[in-house]
Structure 1
Amino acid sequence: MRMTPQRQLVLDAVRELGHATPEQVCRKVQGTASTVNITTVYRALDLLEELGLVRHTHLGHGAPTYSVEEHEHVHLACHRCGEIDEVPTETLDELADQLRRERGFELDATHLALSGTCRSCRATEAG
Structure 2
Amino acid sequence: MTEAALVNTVRAHGLRVSALRRTVLRRLLAADAPLTAEELARGEDVASTYRNLNALETIGVVRHIHLGHGPGRYTLSGRSAGWVTCERCGRSTPIADDALHRLREAVLAVTGYQAGFNRFPIVGRCVDCI
Q: TM-score range with shorter-chain normalisation?
A: 0.7 to 0.9
Q: Alignment RMSD, CA only?
A: 2.1
Percentage identity across aligned positions?
A: 27
Aligned residues: 114
Q: Does 1:64 align with 2:72?
A: yes
Q: What's 2:16 paired with?
A: 2
Unaligned runs of 5+ in 2: 1-14
TM-score normalised over the length of structure 2: 0.75
Q: What's 2:88 paired with?
A: 80
Cα distance, 1:111 vs structure 2 = 4.0
Deviating above 2 A after TM superposition, structure 1's stretches of 4 or more consecutive aligned residues are: 92-103, 105-112
Residue 14 (structure 1) aligned to one of 10, 28, 43: 28
1:97-108 matches, within 5 Å, as 97-98=105-106, 100=108, 103=112, 105-108=113-116
| 8 Å contact kept, 2:80–2:94 | no
Cα distance, 1:99 vs structure 2 = 5.0
Unaligned runs of 5+ in 1: 31-35, 123-127
Q: Which amino acid aligns with 2:89?
A: C
Task: Looking at secondary structure, tell me which structure has more helix per residue.
Answer: 1
1:19-38 matches, within 5 Å, as 19-27=34-42, 36-38=44-46
**Which deviations, in whole Å up to 9, do the C-alpha atoms of 1:73-112 show, x marking residues without a partner?**
4211111111112221322334423555663x44334444
Structure 1 or 2, whichever has the larger Rg, is 1
* Separation (CA, whole Å) in 2 of partners of 1:69 and 1:23: 19
Q: Does 1:96 align with 2:99?
A: no
Q: Structure 2 vs 1, CA of residues 92 and 43 (structure 1 numbering), >3 Å: closer, same or farther?
A: same
Q: Which amino acid aligns with 2:116?
A: D
TM-score normalised over the length of structure 1: 0.76
